[in-house]
């Protein structure tokens, strides 16, 4: 690996050191492998559901998953981001004696709130089903909700506990539980249930049960990492002082997270409410496919967040900005080809879910264009959070929620799932644009760098331009798709190789190679 990341031609452009990239690479390669492995399993789960159940039953299950996602992630109260930011700072300032109390401060409110939410939602399941499901699927919708919601507390605790393990600078527990064990168990159980013809409620139970084991294992892994305070640690502060500092940061993040989660999952429920449960299944399949690239962004952001926190705690702003830029280029280089291909060949690609699902082609096209901007924004939200700007994140998320709900209410009754996709794409673009403006003009960090246009133009020409030309000439056929992918990849590889120094693709190649090795070990169970 290079001794350092060389300066760009502009002397004002920041640089990252080799140690920054190496620190990211150590955990990033494992995370990339784990997230890729987990994403493939989650995608397989959607395929099992869409092929194993009729569109109505599939829509009922996928709407239930969307509701559960809103509830479980809202119940985190921002405690996950709070631990990721706080623990590295405690370690940097010789306050390891505060770590155990901080974890308790994080976990207890999450436990209480998620348990209360589970009881309330269980009681109100018929009313929720009346709002979000069409008449033919309200009874099964209420049953699915009541099947899944008792697992809500352990789901929330699992997410917070795994965030705590990441704060110690290791991605191993997160990858093993969140990206391997949980999705693998779900696929096996759901496949068995579908093969046995047991129906939608059994599918909901098979999806939910692994959360119980995941929650327990995550808590045990976190406690094992905590250990005892070091001998050099400063005396512990009072529980009240720790709680005040922790929740001063986490509380705005909690509300922001609720807004973000609603934006990400409410559209599926609104399609079910304003259109039909069947159309909700079609839209959910399109969104699951369109969100594949976000798993890559998560793989990059998870190990970067504690690294951002540690660098900012030492006042290393230029190194922080340079690491953010470099990680964004890499996310774009790996993800933009897929999204441009989705956009051009949407009707053909959606056939993988079944004969009813190409009806979501327009939605997939719109979502793909929106996600290009999201992925081109990189880890901007984690960077703002690690800079302590949870109030900015709250403002962005509140704006996004208001915009998204307004657009959904106007567009879904008029143009159906294309309206939901438009609302999602506009909201994602607006929120990420606001974060980029804050990063540049309020934090003084440069968001793009000279590698950004290189990747953007190369991907747009090789996959967008060539793919569109082949589709117009040959139609949306498997042959045109294969030619677009093959020709685009060869041209893209040539261009990236031409600019490999600018993009530091040698380091990225090392990470991807290590990730492939880790993925092979994950598949073999070693």
Q: What is the pLDDT along the chain (526 residues), one digit of tens a residue?
A: 333 443 333 434 555 556 676 666 665 666 777 777 888 888 899 999 999 999 999 999 999 999 999 999 899 998 998 998 888 888 877 777 889 999 999 999 999 999 999 999 999 999 999 999 999 999 999 999 999 999 999 999 999 999 999 888 888 898 899 989 999 999 999 999 999 988 889 999 999 999 999 999 999 999 888 876 665 667 878 889 999 989 998 888 788 878 888 887 899 999 999 999 999 999 999 998 998 878 778 777 877 887 888 888 888 888 888 889 998 999 999 999 999 999 999 999 999 999 999 999 999 999 999 999 999 999 998 899 888 888 898 899 999 999 999 999 999 999 999 999 999 999 999 999 999 999 998 888 888 889 999 999 999 999 999 999 999 999 999 999 999 999 999 999 999 999 988 887 877 776 666 655 655 665 665 5
The reported pLDDT for the residue numbered 229 is: 63
Measured CA to CA, the distance from residue 372 to residue 452 in angstroms comes to 13
Alpha-carbon 448 to chain mean position: 21
Residue 225: partners with Cβ closer than 8 Å, 6 or more residues away:
164, 165, 168, 170, 173
Q: 0.85 cut: is pTM over it?
A: no
The reported pLDDT for the residue numbered 254 is: 82
Position of tokens 């429920």? 269
Residue 524 lies in a domain: no
- Could you count the other beta carbons within 10 Å of the beta carbon of residue 509? 11
Measured CA to CA, the distance from residue 186 to residue 285 in angstroms comes to 17
* Alpha-carbon radius of gyration of the chain: 23
Residue 511 lies in a domain: no
By three-state DSSP, how is residue 4 classified?
A: strand
Alpha-carbon 279 to chain mean position: 24
Q: Which two tokens stand for residue 379?
A: 């880890």
Residue 456 lies in a domain: no
Angle at which helix 277-290 crosses helix 317-344, to 10 degrees, equals: 130
Residue 10: partners with Cβ closer than 8 Å, 6 or more residues away:
450
Query: Do 348 and 46 touch, CB atoms closer than 8 A?
Result: no
Largest CA distance in the chain: 72
Q: For the chain, percent helix, then strand, then coil, each to nearest 5?
A: 85, 0, 15
Residue 155 lies in a domain: yes
Question: 4 - beta bridge partners?
Answer: 17
Query: Do 154 and 75 touch, CB atoms closer than 8 A?
Result: no
Number of structural domains found in the chain = 1
> End-to-end alpha-carbon separation of the chain, Å?
27
Q: Which two tokens stand for residue 449?
A: 């760098």
Closest CA to 271 of 117, 422, 54: 422
- Could you count the other beta carbons within 10 Å of the beta carbon of residue 499? 15
User: How far apart, in Å, are the Cα atoms of 466 and each of 240, 289, 293, 479?
Assistant: 61, 22, 21, 14
Question: 17 - beta bridge partners?
Answer: 4
The reported pLDDT for the residue numbered 9 is: 37
Residue 455 lies in a domain: no
Residue 94 lies in a domain: yes
Residue 371: partners with Cβ closer than 8 Å, 6 or more residues away:
290, 291, 293, 294, 339, 425, 428
The reported pLDDT for the residue numbered 514 is: 62
Residue 486 lies in a domain: no
The reported pLDDT for the residue numbered 11 is: 39
Pure H helices in 75-137: 79-92, 99-123, 125-132
The reported pLDDT for the residue numbered 525 is: 57
Measured CA to CA, the distance from residue 284 to residue 83 in angstroms comes to 31
Measured CA to CA, the distance from residue 299 to residue 518 in angstroms comes to 14
Position of tokens 């917070």? 160
Q: Which two tokens stand for residue 423?
A: 């609302």
The half-sphere exposure of 440 on its side-chain side, counting CA atoms within 13 A, is 13
Please provide the DSSP assignment of 223-249 as one string: HHHH-PPPTTPPPPPPHHHHHHHHHHH
User: How far apart, in Å, are the Cα atoms of 338 and each of 130, 223, 475?
Assistant: 38, 39, 19
User: How far apart, in Å, are the Cα atoms of 420 and each of 62, 407, 469?
Assistant: 16, 8, 28
Q: Which range of residues forms the domain containing residue 103?
A: 27-449
Residue 244 lies in a domain: yes
């Amino acid at each position: 690996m290079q001794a350092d990341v060389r300066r760009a031609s502009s002397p004002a452009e920041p640089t990252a050191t080799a140690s920054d990239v190496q620190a990211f690479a150590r955990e990033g390669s494992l995370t990339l492998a784990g997230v890729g492995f987990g994403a493939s399993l989650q995608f397989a789960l959607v395929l099992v559901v869409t092929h194993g159940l009729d569109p109505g039953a599939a829509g009922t299950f996928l709407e239930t998953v969307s509701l559960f996602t809103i509830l479980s992630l809202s119940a985190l109260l921002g405690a996950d981001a709070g631990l990721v930011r706080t623990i590295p700072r405690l370690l940097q300032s010789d306050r390891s004696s505060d770590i155990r109390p901080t974890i308790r401060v994080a976990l207890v409110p999450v436990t209480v709130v998620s348990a209360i939410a589970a009881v309330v939602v269980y009681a109100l399941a018929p009313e929720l089903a009346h709002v979000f499901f069409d008449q033919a699927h309200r009874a099964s919708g209420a049953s699915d909700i009541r099947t899944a919601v008792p697992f809500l507390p352990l789901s929330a605790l699992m997410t917070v506990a795994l965030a705590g393990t990441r704060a110690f600078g290791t991605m191993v527990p997160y990858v093993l539980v969140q990206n391997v064990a949980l999705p693998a168990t779900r696929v096996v159980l759901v496949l068995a249930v579908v093969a046995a013809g047991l129906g939608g409620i059994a599918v909901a139970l098979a999806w939910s049960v692994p959360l119980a084991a995941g929650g327990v294992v995550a808590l045990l892994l976190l406690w094992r990492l905590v250990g005892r305070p070091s001998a050099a640690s400063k005396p512990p502060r009072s529980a009240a002082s720790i709680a005040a500092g922790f929740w001063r940061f986490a509380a705005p993040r909690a509300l922001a997270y609720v807004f973000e989660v609603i934006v990400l999952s409410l559209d599926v429920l609104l399609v079910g409410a304003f259109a039909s449960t069947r159309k909700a299944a079609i839209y959910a399949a399109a969104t699951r496919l369109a969100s594949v690239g976000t798993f890559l962004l998560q793989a990059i952001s998870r190990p970067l967040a504690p690294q951002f926190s540690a660098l900012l705690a030492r006042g290393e702003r230029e190194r922080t900005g340079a690491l953010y830029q470099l990680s964004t280029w890499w996310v774009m280089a790996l993800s933009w080809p897929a999204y441009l291909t989705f956009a051009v060949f949407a009707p053909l690609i959606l056939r993988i879910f079944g004969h009813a699902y190409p009806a979501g082609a327009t939605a997939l096209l719109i979502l793909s264009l929106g996600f290009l901007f999201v992925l081109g924004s990189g880890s901007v939200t984690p960077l703002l959070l690690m800079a302590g700007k949870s109030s900015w994140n709250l403002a962005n998320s509140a704006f996004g929620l208001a915009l998204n709900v307004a657009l959904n209410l106007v567009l879904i009754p008029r143009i159906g799932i294309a309206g939901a996709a438009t609302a999602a794409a506009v909201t994602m673009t607006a929120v990420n644009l606001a974060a980029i403006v804050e990063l540049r003009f309020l934090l003084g960090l440069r968001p793009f760098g000279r590698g950004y246009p290189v990747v953007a133009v190369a991907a747009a020409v090789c996959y967008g331009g060539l793919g569109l030309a082949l589709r117009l000439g040959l139609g949306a056929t498997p042959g045109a798709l294969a030619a677009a992918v093959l020709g685009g990849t060869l041209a893209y590889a040539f261009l990236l190789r031409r600019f490999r120094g600018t993009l530091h693709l040698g380091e990225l190649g090392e990470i991807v190679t290590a990730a492939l090795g880790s993925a092979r070990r994950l598949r073999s169970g070693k």
